Amino acid sequence: MPQDAENKITASGFYGDLKIGVLAIQGAVSEHIDAIENCGARAFPIRNAGLIPELDGLIIPGGESTTIGRLSRKYGYLNEIRSLAAAGKPVLGTCAGLILLAREVEEQEPILPLMSIKTRRNAFGRQRESFETDLSIPVLGEKPFCGVFIRAPQITSIGEGVEVLSILDEVVVAAREKNLLVTAFHPELTDDTRLHCYFLEMALEVKHKIFNVKIGQNVE
């Protein structure tokens, strides 16, 4: 992916056919939608079961992880999210969304669990200890990314196949495992859309693969 993701999106417009959902239980739902739309894709709040299977990608925003997990189970979202991920479509979890995706959560039962990481809730402190800091995220280019940490979790260990994308004070704060992408911080609370554009690049790659498979089947 080019270092300046924003310029690539502006130049190509490839993302206009993508449909991205944002799980609308808690968190900065409208901010995620704005970031995706600023990258050139379509984004929708997910408030009903049955919509997730039609998506090209899903964002699970911040909030309170146990509440999001409980309501997702009640409304039938969890199995749909698992099926979406199993189909290879990307899922982005930010802050509490990271906790939902984690295979292990300290002092809590895992919720989905899909990604080979272990996490600790509120590891950077409570609400009053929130902070912002510049992060190095090489996949997004050389320019630092402003990380907004609000009651943020830490990734305490990673499994084989997990790519570390960013580290702060020797702690992993962003990672990717195939089609699963997580951040301990809130990328939607900045004007920098590079991480959301990176997520759309993942979705576009999967969409192209699915299209090519269908074309091959029709030829046969």
pLDDT top residue among 128 and 82:
82
**Other residues' Cβ atoms within 10 Å of the Cβ of residue 28:** 21
C-alpha–C-alpha distance, residues 26 and 32, integer Å: 12
Q: How much is the pLDDT for 6?
A: 43
> How confident is the model at residue 52, as a pLDDT?
98
Asked if pLDDT for residue 194 goes beyond 60, the answer is yes
- Catalytic pick from 32, 80, 186, 196? 186
Whether 186 shows a pLDDT value over 60: the answer reads yes
Average pLDDT, the chain: 92
Q: Using one digit for the tens of pLDDT, what is the confidence trace for 54-103?
A: 999 999 999 999 999 999 999 999 999 999 999 999 999 999 999 999 99
Q: Which of 6, 39, 95, 196 is catalytic?
A: 95
Domains of the chain as residue ranges with CATH = 5-219 (3.40.50.880)
Contact indicator for 200, 20 with CB cutoff of 8 Å: yes
